[in-house]
Amino acid sequence: MSIPSPAPTFDRRDPPTPERVWCAAPAWQHTPVLDLDALVDRWGHVVVASAHPDDETLGVGALLAALADRAVTITVLVATAGERSHDLADPGERVLLAERRRGELERALALLAPQARLVHLHHPDTGLDSRIDELTTEIGEHLGAGTLLLAPWVHDGHGDHDALGRAAQLAGARHQVAVAHYLVWLWHWSTPSQVAWDHVVAAETPPGAVRRKRAALECFPSQTTAWGGDMDGSGPTPVVDAQSLARARRLVEALLDPAGVLPRLPSFSLTRRNETRAAVFDEMYADGPDAWRVHGSFYEARRRDLVLSMLGRAHYSRGLEVGCADGHLTAALVQRVSDLRAVDVSPVAVEHARTAAPGAHVTVGAAPAAIPGGPFDLVVLSEVGYFLTPTELLATLAKAQSALSAEGELVLCHWQHPTTDVPLDGALVHQQAQDAWGGPPQVQYRDPDVRIDIWTCAASVASREGRNTAQSGDDRGDPSRA
């Protein structure tokens, strides 16, 4: 299906589509991934049109940071100062809000793309629909050969966003410049079934760019807190609420790339990427089965024992380990799971895992595609999440969660120190998992080295054994005997 045209009228205070619904959309698994290097080779100048200060950060902040790191020339055009984001009756307060929002954007861009050129177009907030001709001309003044124009989608749902998107399309057509669109409010009112996924390209960026976006989001307190003289929470509700921030934290930024006469955004071959990854991991085992230096490591033995000790059941009927490597944890899990399935992208690692855990059913395959159907009482992702790209992680989490039985457990365990030469790090993996699940884990352990999170709908161990109620004559249930 395609996005409704025009977008429906909505109130931002209406309940939004939860972020966990967007994270679980099956389409992420098949969405083309933007090839940043090819984009830079094709377009050395990127113009970002923003209706209000913060739209660019919410929609493509991490992409801006990644492009800045590749020395792309960036121009940010801001149509309004966003002075009507809150219902302020006093014109003087609207002037103060406009000044504040301009300053917030300057601080955010200093984090995202310090060399970017910032241009304010000084149009009235909520008035862009009547200024499309002027906007088209103004945008065109910044376009030229080798320019890519990014703008809000024409059906984002906010009048200013939609108008600016239409002006960008007109300017792009007039100057023969490629135009792609980002989304802000569509995530609020729409649903995955309404999105034209065949026109979506996923923008994946390095962890550093993601972190800079998250820091930039903190530069907009006028939108993320209540507007008031001392920002004490006594004024109107925040424009960018918790759900909006969860959407902005998503590790994947989405661009809509409508088909046209100009070249479309370049994308990766996902099959080729998996083949390359498998070869890299295979090579690690050239010197033997202990590629990760597990044997003889107290850290590795402790991490394994921590995972096992945190599991909510003594025994499971059916379990799945995603990214089993050479079977270090698999060999322990098979003692607790009657039917244990394990999968890894490396054929060499799978052979070692089969030797280490002969009781498990171990197969070669890349997540998320290789994740079998459930139901599983237990799904474990240990030290694997940061080797997945953002879209792979979203799809893997969605498939893992959907494969869980009603009271199954999803276990994530990851190294907490910085990572290098891999798509993500442990902290980003666990934050994305929390947003994808829709809340914090029910069980958690964290120290400077390792973090273990478990999501489940099952009752606690004590509850299942009836130990959480006071029992006559039992010291544990009788306060008078404490």
**Non-local CB neighbours of 75 within 8 Å, separated by 6+ positions:** 45, 46, 47, 48, 116, 117, 119, 142
Do 368 and 291 share a structural domain? yes
- Co-location of 100 and 154 in the same domain: yes
Q: Is residue 13 part of a domain?
A: no
Beta bridge partners of 342: 321, 362
Q: In the chain, how many domains are there?
A: 2
Residue 478 resides in a domain: no
Residue 6 domain flag: no
What is the amino acid identity at position 437?
A: W
Q: Encoding tokens for residue 442?
A: 């029910």
Q: Does one domain contain both 65 and 128? A: yes
Question: What pLDDT, on a 0 to 100 scale, did the predictor assign at position 6?
Answer: 60
Q: Return the pLDDT at 479.
A: 39
Whether residue 2 lies inside any domain: the answer is: no
The predicted pLDDT at position 261 comes to 60
Please identify every stretch of the chain with a pLDDT value under 70, giving residue numbers as ranges: 1-8, 227-236, 260-261, 270-272, 470-482
> What pLDDT score was predicted for residue 236?
62
Domain co-membership, 188 together with 313: no
Q: Is the same domain home to 237 and 319?
A: no
Residue 428 maps to which CATH number? 3.40.50.150
Listed residues 268, 289, 317: the one ending a domain: 268
pLDDT tens-digit series, residues 453-475: 999 998 888 888 888 776 545 54
Assess whether 250 and 310 both reside in one domain.
no
- Asked if residue 330 and residue 401 are part of one domain, the reply reads yes
Question: Looking at the domain assignment, is residue 221 inside a domain?
Answer: yes
User: Are 315 and 209 in the same domain?
Assistant: no
Residue-number span of the structural domain to which 58 is assigned: 19-268
The reply to whether 481 falls in a domain is no
- pLDDT score at 84: 87
CA distance 172 to 150: 10
> For position 12, what pLDDT does the model report?
79
Q: Which residues contact 321 (CB under 8 A, 6 or more apart)?
A: 329, 330, 333, 340, 341, 342, 343, 360, 379, 380, 382
Residue 227: what pLDDT?
Answer: 61
Does one domain contain both 213 and 319? Answer: no
Say how far apart CA 471 and CA 142 lie, in whole Å. Answer: 76
pLDDT value for 237? 76
CATH number for position 122: 3.40.50.10320
Question: Amino acid letter at 267?
Answer: S
Each residue of 88-102: pLDDT tens digit? 878 888 899 999 999
Amino acid (1-letter code) at residue 124: P
Same domain, 101 and 128: yes
In a domain, 95, yes or no: yes
